[in-house]
Amino acid sequence: MRADTSMRVTYWPRGTVMATAEDVPSGASLRARMVVEQFDKNTINAASLTELQRAAGDGLLAQATAGYVRWIAAKADGGDLRAELRELHAKLRKDISGDEHRRSPDQTAGLALGIYMFIQFAVDLGAIGQDDGTALWDNSWSKLCATRTAQVAERREEDPVTMFIESIPEVLASGMAHVAGRDGEVPQDVGDPAPLGWRRRSSTFYEERGGDLTTVESTHMPLGDLIGWVDGGQLWLLPAAAFKAVETLLRGQGKALPITASTLGKRLRDAGQLLEPGEDGRPAKMVKVGGQAIRVFVMRRDSVLEEGEGVPL
């Protein structure tokens, strides 16, 4: 759309872009708009590739493509090809199950549609038999579905909500930040507070009698910035502070959250990760900590933090 929300001219693609790369582009939304097939040097059948390259040099692949275009044109002249393709695409898309980005099934169904039509072309011309065509289609559809399943799993890792939630324990364990009890001190309902960003510290002093060096009872000190509090089974995260800590962690890994802190809150709410959104419709809820009213993301503690069995300190 233009800045005034009016629609721009639609440019329909006249082909499919196929590209190779050493890495997959980052971003869940971008990945949903492509089909990614990952392979290594052992994936390629060198003998088959050599045969195809020779056929291409002899012009056979160009002839096959020209024949396919003529076959498609004849079908378009003889009936409503557009409606037929639209119906077949919808059927293929419906057969694709799973928790998907809305655009992802379109990409897989589009590729499947192209493969299906080319197989029909080969069968009609007698290049392959009907049984071979059916077997080729079944194998192709199975491979496409397997590729899609693997891609969905990888794309979830690029989802901002998943990235944020899975980064919080690492941020705390690394000492980049900490969460405290509501009194601002080390939480009292955990065994080892290290996963929450706290480290044990032992103090020493000289006794007045004898001058012996004695170690006093260990205490704990917080590491890094405060990004929230734990309250029973809830975790209260400061939106800006937690977002900044996660961004710092991801930047060191060559990654980044592809959204802003305010958008992250909406995504967390829409994903059902917020136990108690704000009363005014905002993702962050107003709570009282140390006598101050502060907006926080209220989340389930055990869905974010990696803690052992809690025992009093």
At 293, the pLDDT band (50, 70, 90 cuts) reads very high
Specify the pLDDT at position 7. Answer: 83
pLDDT digits 0-9 by tens, 45-97:
999 999 999 999 999 999 999 999 999 999 988 778 889 999 999 998 888 76
Out of 157, 174, 190, a domain closes at: 157
| Domain co-membership, 34 together with 151 | yes
Give the residue from 30, 37, 261, 296 showing the smallest Cα distance to 159: 30
* Cα 21 versus chain centre, distance: 19
- Whether 295 maps to a domain, the answer reads yes
Specify the pLDDT at position 313. Answer: 30
Give the predicted TM-score (pTM) of the model.
Answer: 0.60
| Domain co-membership, 214 together with 287 | yes
Highest mean pLDDT among 57-66, 97-106, 153-162: 57-66
Specify the pLDDT at position 124. Answer: 95
Out of 136, 157, 178, a domain closes at: 157
| Domain co-membership, 194 together with 121 | no
Arithmetic mean of pLDDT, 19-35: 76
| Domain co-membership, 120 together with 164 | no
| Domain co-membership, 248 together with 188 | yes
CB atoms within 10 A of CB 280: 8
> Crossing angle for the helix pair 46-57 and 60-78, nearest 10 degrees?
80
Specify the pLDDT at position 73. Answer: 93
- Whether 224 maps to a domain, the answer reads yes
Query: Which range (13-17, 43-47, 125-129, 247-251) has the least confidence?
Result: 13-17
CB 267 within 8 A of CB 259: yes
Burial of 32 (0-12, 13-18, 19+ CB in 10 A): buried
What range does the domain containing 121 cover?
A: 28-44+80-157
**Structure-block tokens of residue 99:** 């928790």
Number of domains forming the structure of the chain: 2
Specify the pLDDT at position 312. Answer: 32
Q: Please say if the pLDDT value at position 213 is more than 60.
A: no
| Domain co-membership, 297 together with 165 | yes
Specify the pLDDT at position 106. Answer: 83
Q: Please say if the pLDDT value at position 172 is more than 90.
A: yes
| Domain co-membership, 180 together with 226 | yes
- Whether 50 maps to a domain, the answer reads no
> Crossing angle for the helix pair 239-252 and 160-173, nearest 10 degrees?
80
Percent of residues, the chain, with pLDDT higher than 70: 87
| Domain co-membership, 178 together with 247 | yes
| Domain co-membership, 179 together with 283 | yes
Specify the pLDDT at position 128. Answer: 95
| Domain co-membership, 238 together with 177 | yes
| Domain co-membership, 249 together with 265 | yes
At 264, the pLDDT band (50, 70, 90 cuts) reads very high
**Structure-block tokens of residue 226:** 């405060």
- Whether 65 maps to a domain, the answer reads no
Arithmetic mean of pLDDT, 232-250: 94
The DSSP symbol for 274 reads B
| Domain co-membership, 107 together with 231 | no
